[in-house]
Amino acid sequence: MKRMKGVKVPHMKSTGDSIPARMTDLDIAVYPMVQHIGTPCKPVCRPGDPVYVGTLLGQKNGGLSSPIYSGVSGTVNKIEDILLSDGRYAPAVYVLPDGKMTPDPTIAPPTVTDLQGFIHAVEDSGIVGLGGAGFPTGVKLHVGDSSRIQEIIINGAECEPYITSDTRTMLDRGQDMQEGIRLLQKYLGAKKIIIAVEKNKPTCIRAMRSIAGGDDTVSVKVLPSVYPQGAEKVLIYHTTGKVVPEGGLPIDVGVIVLNCTTLAEIARYIRTGMPLVEKCVTVDGSAVASPMNVIVPIGATLEAVFNFCGAFKAQPGKVLYGGPMMGVSVPELSMPVLKQTNALLALDAKDAAPVDAANCIRCGRCTNVCPVGLAPVSIAAAYGSGSMETLQKIHTNLCMECGCCSYVCPAKRPLVQQNKLAKAALAAWLKSNR
């Protein structure tokens, strides 16, 4: 099987051995009503309302949405719009914690007896793709006839530099993952489950082989350590040899992909009824005093999380949600940890220094590394000339924003940024021409 392309990146996973420390002491918790791909939630609380850990703050709104729960106990302080890292505004619920972390007394395990009950439970749990994608997991499981499912891939390919939160799931939450696998077998009728891990994680490979042991329907696939190995289409191809068609979904080739932490959280919800209220986050980067993994109540501000890690040893030049390849720059440390936050990086001024882009030298490296065979130079040219027809013709929408092209460009062209702008312009054009 030919490999999809990609790049070798330095791993810099110094926190891989860091057993997550639990953070509970917060001054404020902030819950934007968008923490998923899809429609924002509707707040269901008012200022002055008491809340507990696991109390519903925002109910799902439409098919592609996911409920949002409080990660702390306390009192709703206010509801007001907040600027998100993608430039949009959304309502956010602010909770003043009481420091007690009292669980909501109504929490109870869901009653699940069949596939529909399982899917509804996953929808109610507030779980979204926890590897960073944020796609509502319950929606992903709505595949109609479950006999369409030939393989379920558990994604343990944590390919971005620095990030080790999924590594900790594989090392620390094997029992949750095993329970999750049993649930997939019982309710989705999964006949083949493949846990995919890159070969640079030998301890994870051993842990995953141990939870798969004795079950012929569960296997571990060891993958090369190439970025972006964990990207859904790349993972499916390297694990099964199947190619997801353009515009299609993994289920179109009989596959469902679930991130390993997502799987562990599903098991925990079905067992306890406690929805998604906390997240293991890797905190790292050259400006961070004590890089580590932290279990953070969702809603904690980034400032509080960095302070928990010994604050900054140098003035950060840039703070990112996520890793250096696909991470999104954070404008304010008052922004919160979201459901899909798996890492926070603070880079010092040297690491964050902007680079001056030079003219393209037509070396072709950007095209050579693109996992989906795009030509970033052509995308940039078509976007620059405003030719939406060309952007469509050269499959701009396939760009997964992995950043490989920018990473290898000797001229330091801002290719992935241009691709994002081009995709947004193309999507708006297609919508207006429907």
Task: Pick the piece of the chain touching ligand SF4 (CB under 6 A) from 31-39, 186-194, 215-223, 402-410.
Answer: 402-410
Nearest distance from C-beta of residue 354 to ligand SF4, angstroms: 17
Nearer to ligand SF4, 53 or 236 (CB): 236
Nearest distance from C-beta of residue 85 to ligand SF4, angstroms: 18
| 279 scored as a contact of ligand SF4 (CB under 6 A) | no
Cβ atoms within 10 Å of 145's Cβ, excluding its own: 6
Instruction: Report the distance separating Cα 163 and Cα 281, nearest Å.
Output: 8
Nearer to ligand SF4, 83 or 408 (CB): 408
Contact 378, 166 (CB under 8 A): no
When binding is defined by CB under 6 A, the residue of 337, 376, 383, 391 that contacts ligand SF4 is 376
| 119 scored as a contact of ligand SF4 (CB under 6 A) | no
Nearer to ligand SF4, 82 or 409 (CB): 409
Nearest distance from C-beta of residue 226 to ligand SF4, angstroms: 13
When binding is defined by CB under 6 A, the residue of 122, 133, 154, 399 that contacts ligand SF4 is 399
| 302 scored as a contact of ligand SF4 (CB under 6 A) | no
Please, is 213 exposed, middle or buried when counting C-beta atoms within 10 Å of its C-beta (0-12, 13-18, 19+)? exposed
Build a one-symbol-per-residue string for 336-365: x at contacts with ligand SF4 by CB under 6 A, - elsewhere: ------------------------xxxxxx
When binding is defined by CB under 6 A, the residue of 35, 70, 167, 419 that contacts ligand SF4 is 419
Nearer to ligand SF4, 29 or 370 (CB): 370
Where does 102-225 show beta strands of DSSP type E?
A: 151-156, 193-198, 218-223
Q: What tokens does 353 get?
A: 């220094």
Nearest distance from C-beta of residue 418 to ligand SF4, angstroms: 9
Nearest distance from C-beta of residue 158 to ligand SF4, angstroms: 18
CA-nearest of 294, 288, 275 to 23 is 294
CA-nearest of 341, 339, 335, 227 to 283 is 341
Measure the N-to-C terminal CA separation of the chain; round to a whole number of Å: 38
Q: What tokens does 42 get?
A: 């509707």
When binding is defined by CB under 6 A, the residue of 190, 400, 422, 426 that contacts ligand SF4 is 400
| 434 scored as a contact of ligand SF4 (CB under 6 A) | no
Instruction: Report the distance separating Cα 266 and Cα 216, nearest Å.
Output: 23
Give CA 329 to chain center in angstroms. Answer: 15
Q: Which residue has the tokens 């004590």?
A: 290
Nearer to ligand SF4, 62 or 384 (CB): 384
Nearer to ligand SF4, 12 or 372 (CB): 372
When binding is defined by CB under 6 A, the residue of 88, 410, 417, 424 that contacts ligand SF4 is 410
Nearer to ligand SF4, 41 or 374 (CB): 374
CA-nearest of 231, 177, 168 to 201 is 168
Number of chain positions touching ligand SF4 (CB under 6 A): 28
Q: What tokens does 315 get?
A: 């003035």
Find the binding residues for ligand SF4 in span 134-153 (CB under 6 A): none
DSSP character string of 332-377 = -TTSBP-TT--EEEEEEHHHH------------HHHHH-TT---HH
Instruction: Report the distance separating Cα 316 and Cα 285, nearest Å.
Output: 9
Q: ∠ CA(28), CA(33), CA(38), 5° rounding?
A: 150
Nearest distance from C-beta of residue 136 to ligand SF4, angstroms: 23
Q: Count of residues for the chain? A: 434
Cβ atoms within 10 Å of 211's Cβ, excluding its own: 22
Instruction: Report the distance separating Cα 130 and Cα 165, nearest Å.
Output: 10
| 164 scored as a contact of ligand SF4 (CB under 6 A) | no
Cα separations in angstroms, 264 against 178, 234, 377: 8, 22, 41
When binding is defined by CB under 6 A, the residue of 34, 404, 422, 426 that contacts ligand SF4 is 404
Task: Pick the piece of the chain touching ligand SF4 (CB under 6 A) from 97-105, 259-267, 366-374, 387-395.
Answer: 366-374
Q: Write the single-letter amino acid at 179.
A: E
Q: Write the single-letter amino acid at 325.
A: M
| 377 scored as a contact of ligand SF4 (CB under 6 A) | yes
| 422 scored as a contact of ligand SF4 (CB under 6 A) | no
Pairing mode, strands 42-43 and 56-59: antiparallel
Coil/strand/helix, residue 5: coil
When binding is defined by CB under 6 A, the residue of 267, 402, 422, 426 that contacts ligand SF4 is 402
Nearer to ligand SF4, 152 or 405 (CB): 405
| 366 scored as a contact of ligand SF4 (CB under 6 A) | yes
Binding site for ligand SF4 (CB under 6 A): 360-366, 370-372, 374, 376-377, 399-405, 408-411, 413, 415-416, 419
